Every structure is written in structure tokens, then in C-alpha cells.
Structure 1
Amino acid sequence: MVTTRKKRVAMTEKLKKDVFMACVVRVSREILPHGSFKAVGETHKIHPRTVANLWYSTLKQIPGYQPNTPLDPVSLLANVPETAFTTKFENSGRNPKHDRDMLLQEIKNIDPTARRTIRSLAGAVGIPVMTIWRMKQSKKLKVHTMALKPKLNDDHRLNRLFHCIAKIDKNTINSVAEMTFKSMYNEILLMKNGSFLYGTGFGVL
């Protein structure tokens, strides 16, 4: 025998408001009588536990409400906020352990050479790799091409300086104002110091 699963009722804002109003109407002698959740659930064709969750979650949003205190129907209807029945899908699920906005600020202060991969960035910030991966999947982090040139040590600086001096036109060396350099159209300058610094790619987060 094949059994069909009962279709779940969509909890719209109107339905939530109607369910809460039905519970408020049943308040008697400053309490909600036993069996009210079941009765309201049968009327609106939803589970009693759903009614209970909606009831208690709405009460928590009422300013000044304290648990286990007498219920006043007039006060409940007057003080319930308008956003109590609004569906917020972005607030569903477990709360993130790390504040994403604070992480983005910390990442901006990290040297780009220390955050070229997800693993290196996670180690620099001190958070799990999966947190960085989720931020990348949610488009909070994007991979960009490294625009910074490799760092130059003292030997590289001297070699570049000597190369520039060697290209000065000797016929103009006596006058600093008229000093010119030889053309370098047929020469290629190899960046020897860049071949080992970025051997695994140019990505940066």
C-alpha cells in the first residue's frame, strides 16, 4: 500500500497572523488554556507544535514581555510589532561564528603576498579554511590577478641601476640637462627575481 505524504502548508505572513490572533482570542483568565495549540492547529490544518513555536516566538518579540506572566489580550494585540510575522530567510540556520564584515576588514590589512591562496589567507587571519571558502562562494571574496610587482632585493636594485647607467648616451654625458639614453627597442629585460616568487600562480584574495 502506497501512502502519500500530506502536503505541508506554506506559512505565509497572513497565516501566521491569523494563527496568533486565534490563540489570543482563546486566552481566558490571563492564561492560554490547555489544548489551545491543538484546536488552532486543527482549524488552520497545521501541526500543534508549529502553532506553539509561532506563539512563543511572537511573544518574545513583544516589548516588555516576561515569560510566565499573566496574559492580557488587549496588550498583546496593541504591542505586537509589525515585523513579528515577516519571513526572513537570511536569518534561518545557524548563526555564523565569525563576523563576515570584521573578517573583510582584517583581510584588507593583510599583505597581499600573504593571502595568495585560501589556505594562506585562513592561516593569516586565524580562521578555518572552510570559512574563507564559504565567503568566496557567497561572493564576499573574489580572486584577483596579482597587480603588485615582485619585491626587489639590494642586488636587483644595483643591477637595474647599473643597467640604466650603461644605457646613457656617452655623447650627452657632460650635460645633465641634455642627457639622453640609448634606445632599447631590440632588447628584452628578463625579470629573474620574479620566476621563483610566483611559481604557483598570481591569484590573490
Structure 2
Amino acid sequence: MDVEQEQQDNEQVHDDDKYKNLTDLQRAGIYEELLARSVNRKLKKTTTREVANMFHVSVQKVRRVWRRVKECLRQGVPVDVRSRKPKNCGRKRIVVDLSMVAEIPRSQRRTIRSLARALGVKKTTLHRMFTDGLLDRHSSSLKPYLKEANKKARLQFCLSMFDQQSLQNRPTFRDMRNIIHIDEKWFNTTQKTMKFYKLPSEIDPHRTVQNKNSIGKIMFLVAIARPRYNAEGICIFDGKIGIWPFIKKEPAPRKSDYRPRGTLITKTISVNREISRQFLIQKVLPAIQAVWPQELAGETIWIQQDNAPSHVPSNDPGFLNAVAQTGLDIRLMQQPSNSPDMNILDLGLFSSLQSMSDRLVSNNLDELINNVQHEYDAYDADKINRIFLTLQSCLIEVMKRGGSNDYKIPHMYKDGLERAGNLPDVLDCDRELYESVTQALAE
């Protein structure tokens, strides 16, 4: 019984093979067998059936191979029995003139669907071109508008960051270890839209708030300096001066289901110049005294801030009196207007800290403060050091663009350089570029 079943299975397999397309190897074998059995290029009546049974294919396929042989002989060309289907069968590829893409308004190129509609093709065709690398996706973010005076101020700021002793040979940036970057940042308890990865069997997350336009948020003041390392490469100062929320504690005027009356609740405060001065004197200056390395105590410490109206000017009497009591030479400096790319906080640290704090659940403002403070304390000092190098590379790009901000942040592959022990401490600049910027400012 098993032998009969095996014979039936073999016959079924052979019948299925008869209807499959012949491979080029099978075609060549059939041609050689027919040629060996032919006499003066002629076959007997039973030859094609015998060869078909030998290769387990249909007789029609063997006869088509032989007709191809006779056709080649009549035309006087070399015999070629390979399949023609790879060239003549299948769906023909749609030809799209991609040079028309540049002529389509950018407002119609925001999605694959709208671009396909403008080109008059299917979106699947464009998606295939995108996966093949024929189309590129770009995320465009708004940048501050710069006037000519802004560009000139940005170039002057770039030149001020060079080490004066290196200008005779190869212009090199200062190590910036005596500059403290400060700025404010809003942190939200949650976001309107969040992306999750889940199993298909999981229930979609359901998040609710009382008013999605009034999500709880707190503004923080952050102060960061460049980390310092000893000769062995061990971090001896992580550069973290401090992070402080702009909040106040007030007793609850009435009871609720969650707290009794009089419970201290956290509320945000609006930031003006008086509040900024108060935080600088009561928060930032004591923190600098507590953590600043002793070997840098004799140098001038610069606190770099932007030009927000609420910030304290460099000649503020209250700030100068507070600095005189510290025994340190601490001064305020303003970065160029409309230049967030010249502050390491806006350049990279804020976005990184925001993404890290978003991983933690903040049900109220107190939890938000704890989460942000936790991520700030755990932030890697090596990342802070790399952002300072990114700042120097951005300054070079600003000089190349004549003070403009229409540049891409260059990639230095700092992680790989650091693993190999080749991460530079400071970056240098081409002397011709430095002289061209100097000449442009002198005109």
C-alpha cells in the first residue's frame, strides 16, 4: 500500500512539473538531447515525447524548444534556447520624470499622497522610488529671521571664541571651560500626541486630561558648564551647576477629594527681570561657589545668556554686589540675538533632556519636578562635553555662511572618535576662512 501511494505521489509531482516554466538549464539539456537524437537536424515522430518523459515536462514545451532551434538555424545566428520571459513578461515599470518634482510647489510635496497627485501617478509608485533612494525626505524646522546686523554680530561672536594665542599659526577655539550657559525651558507633564509600540492584541492606550490646551507645565532654569577631565581621562567635574523650577508653594484655599484645605500645592510663577535677578543671586551664584573647580577659581567666569527681556543686564547693580561677596570674578555676557544655535542648551541638551524625562510618568507638577531633576542628575557628562564640540563646529559653519543660520549641523561621529581615544578637546579653523571673516567685518 505504501509503494502504491509513493508511486501516486511521484506521478502527482511529475504532473505538476509539466506546467512549470522551464529553467535555462532544462532548456539546454532538452536541446542537447534532441540534437543527439536527430539525423540531419530532423527528428522521428516519437522523439519529442521520449525527451518530454525523460525531463518530466509536456511535449509542447519540448516542441517549442526545437522550433527555436530551427528558427535560429534559418536566420543563421547561434542557437539560443534561453527563456525570453525575463525581458517580455511581467508588469512594465512606470516611467516617472522626477525632474518635475522640483517644479512642484513645496506645499504640495509634504506627503507622498499629495506629491503623487501633483505628478499624476500612484502613491505606491512614488513610495517605491523613495525606498530605492530616488526621493529624499527632509524635516524642515523654522529658524529665527536674521538681519544683516544679526549676521554681523554672530560673526563677531564666533571670532571672540578663538584662542588669541593660536591666531598666529592655526586659529583654534578656546576650551570654553570658564563659560556657563544658562537658559529657561518649559517641561510638560505629558504631550498632546505620543507614539507607542504595542502588540496587536493590546488595547490602545486611552489618555485623558481636563483640558488638552492647559496641560500642566513648569519652567526650569538650567545652568551648564563644560566638564573637566584629569590626565587619565576621568571626569572630575561634570559641568552641572544646577536646575531650578520657577514655582511657589501656596496653601489650598478649599478642600477637595484629593487633599484637605490648607495643603501646600505647587504653582508656577511668571518670570520677569526681578525673578531672574533673584534666581541668579540666590540659586546660580551659590551653586557656582559650591561646585566650581578650585584650579579655575582665579579665572573670569562668564555666564552666557540670551537677550530675553526678563534677563538681567551685565551691569545690573544687584548682581554685581552679589558677585563681589562671592570672591569670584563672575560676569554676564549676552549671546547674539536670534541665535539659539550658539547656546549648548538650545543646541542639544534641552531636547535630549526633554526626551529622557518623557519616559517617566508625571501625574502632577511635583512628579514632573522630580522626574526632570532625576534625569538632569543622571545626564551623562560625556554628552555635555560632546555638545560643546558641536557648538564649535556650528561656529565654523556660521563663518562659512557669512553669519547666516542656513546650515546643517555637521556630523563629527564623536562617539566613534571617543571610543578610539581620538576625540579632540577643541576644534581649529582654516586660516583663510578666519581671515576672510575678519576682512568682511572690517569693511
Using the size of structure 2 for normalisation, the TM-score is: 0.25
Larger Rg: 2
More strand by share: 2
